[in-house]
A and B are shown apart, each in its own frame.
Chain A
């Protein structure tokens, strides 16, 4: 249903508060919400889309973390997807990463997850499990906040993997 403008003549003083007037207002409001949802759904913010390759096992988790660029939020938004995919088989163990946010230009960092994102599968194509945020506000960030990934664990003979994190407008 398309937007249907209210007829100015229907909303001048002395006009009855007709049922059809309220129905039109309701329909328009539903249309606005539908449009907003459509825009929110399509306006994704790509934050991290990184393939980790090479001899990963030779690096510590701290070193791997420093290789990842820090994301500076261009708008207020909410995380909606955090997925780690194994592209090359590992031997055993768990690949773990934490997501942290800074609201003071990197002076202090706050963990956003109540437990790290974990990739426990070691075969090609294994993906990480569900994400658990500390609380609802932790899943959102404001314009100019800094977001970074901190690896807290890698698999034995860590294979190549891909990290995809994106959000959408709040």
Chain B
């Protein structure tokens, strides 16, 4: 018998099904003997598919006589491996990856399973092979479950004794195919691809436990740490640097020039026992130091009492021993603007959104080429240098600004939204002119030295001072203790309007203040006003609103705003290459929910696995990551969407089926935390927004008052509200699960596909007294080369209850067929009923 296609083969019930396995294993190979020039050769026992020199992968060459340095070649006919690494490879660590060929019957096939490849012998050792098995964990809230299986090879002849222990099988690839010898080998079908996680041996069998490629997602997200090259305190060293996906508000920033145990100051210090005075050659003591600061000179620590001049200070104790022209470090009592200026934001370039100005409708209404990546409350920069806040958006890509532009920019010029906005010191918002952004390799901000001064409020004090031209000393005759009001590094000036310069306070006594610089204006006795800045210390909390990574990793690249794009980025970073990119592109096109995820989840926290990060995004967007029929990783949104022509499964398509309804997990209320923040601006603590929902339907028909709380990683209020509703909607009724067993006829159905079931003995569905047809989604699939098992769920009956937007050709209810009533949505009367038919209650709902 010969088959013209796989379809014919599937329909031939008694056809021979052959299972093929490619098992990879590694071994160090040596010694080599010289072939030509720097090319060396070695006889090996197995088919070579890859060669490494230590950890460096070598490139496959075209033949054994023309290898360049760094190339290898394997001659399958002679069993010789040729390597050129520019020297004798026997002196290096050459590691070969073999491909071992097995099948369920001895046979000669091509090594790469193409019609024109190199023929190799497939040993007929396969006793049992893992089938394609993958499942979405509906019970586990849309978490993808890592599939696993076992490859069992006959070893009663001892044929595997030689290699079981000598080859390294751990974490190596295994690929399983299904084939019939009457089909071209290129028509073989991949059933399973995974990695060996365990192996077993006895005199009869050797077996390998294999997990599918999603097992690679169990590794931790690759994050770098704050190291010795950053000026951070010991408690911060080795903390992970953050990665940001989407938009994260209240992201805690990390100072990378902390004070810690002190920092160097200007000048060379000299002192000796017998005197508390220290001289500071070349010093800037009046600027850099304040009373009560601690300085460390060699091993001697001093507390500063008085700063007499830039080059002379007095400390609280005499030196224990003399020192001359020694450097010093200082730990200031009050933090200074010399430190804690640079803050780390994210360990990647962050999205700088650039638009083109299309037209100007009014001074506060501009039209851009598009408004993707812009939010109300963002500040955008025009080519004129003006920075204006977005109030809201209007149709036609119109941006309404909070205030008028002073200068009108040129049409066609760029409008830029910086990735870091709304920087807060504790709860105070920093003016955007008071920091700069560095967005190259990673993202950092640098605060201006006057940021604390600018944030401080101008205060009128209830005392007067005499300001004397040319003097640093200010005195008062008022009944006041100045030490209770002012501190070093505060600023004062006379209240009279013509005095506009602030003077920084060096020291404060009860009735006297000493300035750091001479008062340079006309002498005056006047009431005093000034500022008392809150200086940034190592423990001051700085936070910001941040746009995260881009697709290509550059600042000007496309911003990763949605879950499918972020998941694809994580998959790529995890090293997975077999990705169904179309599914991710389609997912992004139909899911514009903006995500809000920082990794690790909290500053200073441990990293999480790629799988955990991906699961969080999937749960947040009601979507899953699964495998398609090519075993490529696929993204699928699990909303109540119905294809126009779904696959219909009848009794004739199945061998057996079993249905179970799972109740008891119904909920009435949802409490959803979203847009998680490291720092809430107002509480200065970790926080998130919260939205809640309660279902009247559940109250009336189910009666439970159960509540489910969940944290999701979405940014927008509306998206979170929809999630809160959907969570309850999807769990408002019991979930019906179905398992179908059949032959290969349903092998092409993919996980995530919505199908219609039409079984003779199935219950009538909610919403119809005339039809037993029911829509369900495939959530699991097992394929072993001869049988197919499908796991399906109605996911809380959402496919039957939800109203679907119909084609414009859809007929009215009264003339619609039962199939059309199942697929389409219809407008109900005020009681939620269509055509006075009682079965139409509680369907046609907005999901």
Contacts and interface: CB of A to CB of B under 8 A. Distances in A.
Interface in A131-150: 131-133, 135-136, 139
Nearest to B454: A115
B812 A14 contact: yes
B364 interface: yes
Contacts of B803: 17
A41 B497 contact: no
Interface stretch (B26-34, B398-406, B704-712): B398-406
Contacts of B812: 14-16
A152 B363 CA distance: 27
Contacts of A81: 363-364, 403-404
Nearest to A1: B395
B825 A16 contact: yes
Contact of A30 (B386, B395, B400): B395
Interface string A113-142: 011000000000001011111011001000
A34 B396 contact: yes
A132 B431 contact: yes
A81 B388 CA distance: 12
A14 B835 contact: yes
B403 A18 contact: no
B839 to A, nearest CB: 14
A132 B363 CA distance: 17
A105 interface: no
A11 interface: yes
A83 interface: yes
Interface stretch (B471-479, B577-585, B670-678, B826-834): B826-834
Kindly state the interface size class of chain B when it binds its partner.
35 or more
Most chain A CB inside 10 Å of its own CB: which residue of B387, B500, B806, B828: B806
A12 interface: yes
B431 A114 contact: yes
Interface in A37-80: 37, 40-41, 61, 78-80
A82 B810 contact: no
Nearest to B844: A17
A15 B804 CA distance: 12
B377 interface: yes
Interface in B693-749: none
A11 B830 CA distance: 12
A22 B364 CA distance: 31
B interface: dominant SS? loop
B79 interface: no
B219 interface: no
A104 interface: no
Contacts of B429: 135
A107 interface: no
Nearest to A129: B406
Nearest to A79: B403
Nearest to A81: B404
A20 to B, nearest CB: 5
A62 to B, nearest CB: 10
A14 B813 contact: yes
Contact of B808 (A19, A41, A82): A19
B362 interface: yes
B753 to A, nearest CB: 22
B805 interface: yes
B645 interface: no
A37 B394 contact: yes
B808 A13 contact: no
Given A13-B834, A19-B807, A20-B808, A80 B386 contact: no
A18 B402 contact: no
A22 B807 CA distance: 11
A13 B825 CA distance: 11
Interface string A22-34: 1000000011011
A13 B398 CA distance: 37
Contacts of A94: 500
Contact of A41 (B361, B806, B844): B361
Interface in B375-402: 377, 386-388, 391, 394-396, 398, 400-402
A78 B402 CA distance: 8
Nearest to B837: A14
A127 B808 contact: no
Nearest to A131: B403
Nearest to B394: A37
Nearest to A132: B431
A15 B827 contact: yes
A49 to B, nearest CB: 14
B497 A61 contact: yes
B274 interface: no
Given A15-B812, A34-B396, A130-B406, A80 B827 contact: no
A35 B721 CA distance: 28
A57 to B, nearest CB: 12
A106 to B, nearest CB: 21
Nearest to B830: A13
A19 B247 CA distance: 32
A139 B392 CA distance: 14
B811 interface: yes
B824 interface: yes
Contact of B834 (A14, A37, A79, A114): A14
A139 B400 CA distance: 14
B45 interface: no
Contacts of B826: 13-17
B545 to A, nearest CB: 14
B56 interface: no
Contacts of B365: 37, 41
Given A14-B827, A81-B363, A19 B406 contact: no
Contacts of A18: 805-808, 810
B843 to A, nearest CB: 12
B366 to A, nearest CB: 12
Interface string B778-816: 000000000000000000000000011111101111101
Contact of A14 (B388, B402, B454, B814): B814
A82 B829 contact: no
Interface string B665-687: 00000000000000000000000
Contacts of A16: 806, 810-813, 816, 824-827
Given A14-B835, A79-B403, A130-B386, A41 B824 contact: no
Nearest to B827: A15
Interface string B330-368: 000000000000000000000000000000011111000
A168 B810 CA distance: 46
B402 A139 contact: yes
B806 A19 contact: yes
Contacts of A168: 364
Contact of A13 (B394, B401, B404, B833): B833
Contacts of A130: 386-388, 403, 406
Contacts of B497: 61, 152-154
A82 B364 CA distance: 12
B402 A34 contact: no
Nearest to B386: A130
Given A132-B431, A136-B377, A17 B806 contact: yes
Nearest to B828: A13
A141 B500 CA distance: 32
Given A40-B400, A80-B404, A168-B364, 8 more contacts: A13-B828, A17-B825, A18-B808, A33-B394, A33-B395, A82-B403, A130-B403, A135-B429
Q: Which 7 A-B pairs have the closest CB atoms?
A: A16-B810, A14-B813, A17-B825, A37-B394, A13-B829, A81-B404, A30-B395
Interface of B: 361-365, 377, 386-388, 391, 394-396, 398, 400-404, 406, 429, 431, 454, 497, 500, 803-808, 810-814, 816, 824-829, 833-835, 844
15 contacts: A13-B829, A13-B834, A16-B811, A16-B816, A17-B804, A17-B844, A18-B808, A19-B805, A33-B394, A80-B363, A80-B403, A80-B404, A81-B363, A127-B406, A130-B403
Interface of A: 11-20, 22, 30-31, 33-34, 37, 40-41, 61, 78-83, 93-94, 114-115, 127, 129-133, 135-136, 139, 152-154, 168
